[in-house]
Structure 1
Amino acid sequence: MPGSFQSGILEPEIVELRALRYFVEVVRQQSFTVAAEQMFVTQPTISKMVKSLEDEIGSPLLLRDGRQMVLTDAGRIVYQRGQDVLAAHAQLQAELNDLDTLGRGQLTIGIPPMGGSLFTPAIAAFRQRYPKIELKLFEQGSRAIEAALINGELELGGVLQPVDPENIEVLPVTRQLLWLVARTGSNWDDLHEVPLAQLANEPFVFYGESLALNDVVLNACRTAGFAPTIVGRSGHWDFMAALVLAGVGIALLPAPYCRRLDPAKFTCRPVIEPEIPWEMAIGWRRNGYLSHAARAWLDVAREALPGQAGDDFMLAPGIGVAGITTPFPVPPAK
């Protein structure tokens, strides 16, 4: 018999944590399909769990208004309090796991698909220093990682700045710029820099809609006075470059990845007016609990990652804080 809404929505014997977690993710993503992808389950599974949650509470939680999902009064309460419950549960698990200090255990870290290799030195150093701690990598976009940090589902994660400063603290890792990536023989071979507005009529290989870089580039295009023509999407820089080489369109990639491309096949140029920053950091929940393992990870990261040492990670010679040059043949600035 469904529990009444008034009798206490979030009593643990009534609400299963998994159903609550799925519901929160659906609201966060505004999509059952995207939520299913983020949680690595099928859409029918999520739909069934949300329906079971509504049955348990005895009240509908979501209403569809066109393509948008609207929370009912009950849904709003469940969503708000549900985030608190999930955060409290995650913190409880972290504190219990922390009883073993650094002797053994596991630490889950959010790693975004674009920028994951930035954290390789810290992962290797941590593994060498604490071999009995298992590192579990939660591979999601920066926005999903930031939400998981705020909800207490993750202790640490790689995030694209800017983040919510009221809820997230950060350790900067690197700041770079996005560059144009095109096939050689393009209109930009003879340019030293490319104003973004000059790309208005080009087809773009874009970032996935769930990735924070998608919004960053869209906003930059709006600032330059146009809406980009998007012909494909991906969260993986190497696949985006392959699509460019196949003639599908152009792409905007962080400068460090451009050094990995063959200059005989690709033209890469800094984008200006506006410049588009790519600022990666390690984030954690402000005023949240950090386990011994998480604090140890931050200590290792401060030593191993370039943002703290003033280096330019993965950049070719000549790309540095003094100015932008490139491993690609570029005509002198006029």
Structure 2
Amino acid sequence: MELRQLRYFVAIVDHGSLSRAALVLHVAQPALTQQLRQLEEELGAQLLHRSAQGVVSTDAGKVFYDHAQAILKQVADARSAVTHSARPSGSVTMGLPHSISGALALPLLTAAREQYPDITLQLTEELTGNLAEQLKSGRVNLAVLFDDGQLTPFATTPLAEEELRFICRHDAIWFSDRNTVSLQQALNTTLILPGLQHGVRPRIEAMARAAGLVIGNVIEINSIAILKSAIMAGMGATILPVAPVLPEIEHGQMRSVRINSPAISRTVVLCASRNIPLTNAANAIAALTQQVAADLCRAGTWPGARLLST
């Protein structure tokens, strides 16, 4: 298996056509077809379905595509680490959970452009479970995750402790005359939450078990945008940090209520792979992320977040 075969395969999938990929790669189409055939023979699996309309990945092809992308990215990172060893430059990919990106993404992008103009910072917004897998495979260099006790495969740096609150529509009948609710009261409502492996859900489940409580009726939605729409439709409430729903709270569409007995929070951490070395550029972005998170906490512009010492 050769790197060029990986590049050819990724280009074919990205462009959806052998002919278009051949044009972009400046490779004759028969040569491209031959390299693809050799790759499939070596793997013992068909990677693409071919038709007059183009090509689409088989199930095996989808799995291989993810690995091929990760390998090509690590090769590019290795090249960048050697050729740009003096001054941080190159491309860095960072993964952010949906519920964090609203607070951290824009300040981090702004700071990166100002302090490291030679670094191309690519931010990807994903579910936390997906980000962990992408970090393991090397498809992202860094990821912001939550300390749920399952982060041992990663090198971690704590960024902040983020309070979780009971979030509901502004006119919801739940505890309308209360400024706080107990965790048990919150859990007894119809809650709209991510799936078990994502976002705030593991933390809520752990806190419930520790308090000897049981979560009642749950509607699972793995999208912040759809989750907010469900709250506005009156389907239920949620337990989230304030940041992702701050616009709705400021416009009077939703409200947040503190949870006590016990209070609930999550630890936000910056993660990197223990097995894949970071480039100078990635190390620079990691340090910058810590700085930006600290500045946001001190300024109070990351709602509900408290700075953690490293």
Give the TM-score band, short-chain normalised. 0.5 to 0.7
Which residue does the alignment assign to 2:122?
136
From 94, 100, 107, give the equivalent of 2:84: 100
State the match for 1:266 in structure 2.
Answer: 254
Unaligned runs of 5+ in 1: 1-11, 22-38, 42-51, 60-78, 322-334
Moved more, 295-304 or 307-316: 307-316
CA-based RMSD of the aligned residues comes to: 4.0
Structure 1 CA distance for aligned equivalents of residues 252 and 125 of structure 2: 32
Q: Which residue of 1 aligns with 2:271?
A: 283
Alpha-carbon distance in 2 for matches of 1:298, 1:252: 29
Distance 1:188 1:91, change over 3 A: same
The answer to whether the 8 Å contact 1:159/1:282 transfers is yes
- Counterparts of 1:117 and 1:263, CA distance in 2: 16
SS of equivalent to 1:166: coil
Matching residue of 2:54: none
- 2:193 aligns with one of 190, 200, 206: 206
Is the CA contact 2:183–2:259 (under 8 Å) kept in the aligned structure 1?
Answer: yes
Distance 1:106 1:179, change over 3 A: same
Count of residue pairs the alignment pairs up: 259
User: Taking structure 1 as the reference length, what is the TM-score of the superposition?
Assistant: 0.62
TM-score scaled by length of structure 2: 0.67
The answer to which structure, 1 or 2, has the higher relative contact order (CA under 8 A, 6+ apart) is 2
* Structure 2 counterpart of 1:218, from 205, 212, 215: 205
Aligned partners of 2:98, 2:296: CA distance in 1, in Å?
Answer: 22
Q: Tell me by how many angstroms 1:116 deviates.
A: 0.9
Give deviations 1:1-27, integer Å, cap 9, x for gaps. xxxxxxxxxxx26xx769x99xxxxxx
The percent identity for this pair of structures is 19
Displacement of 1:115 in angstroms is: 0.3
**TM alignment of 1:1-334, pairs within 5 A:** 12=1, 90-98=73-81, 99-101=83-85, 102=87, 104-119=89-104, 120-162=106-148, 164-183=150-169, 184-208=171-195, 211-223=198-210, 224-236=212-224, 239-257=226-244, 259-260=246-247, 261-262=249-250, 264-286=252-274, 288-306=276-294, 310=298, 312-315=300-303
Q: Deviations over 1:60-107 (max 9, x none)?
A: xxxxxxxxxxxxxxxxxxx9xx98x98766433311123134475321
Q: Distance in 2 between matches of 1:233 and 1:207?
A: 5
User: C-alpha deviations, 1:96-131, integer Å up to 9, x for none?
Assistant: 123134475321111221101332222211112222
SS where residue 226 of structure 1 aligns?
coil
Structure richer in helix, relative to its length: 2
SS at match of 1:96: helix
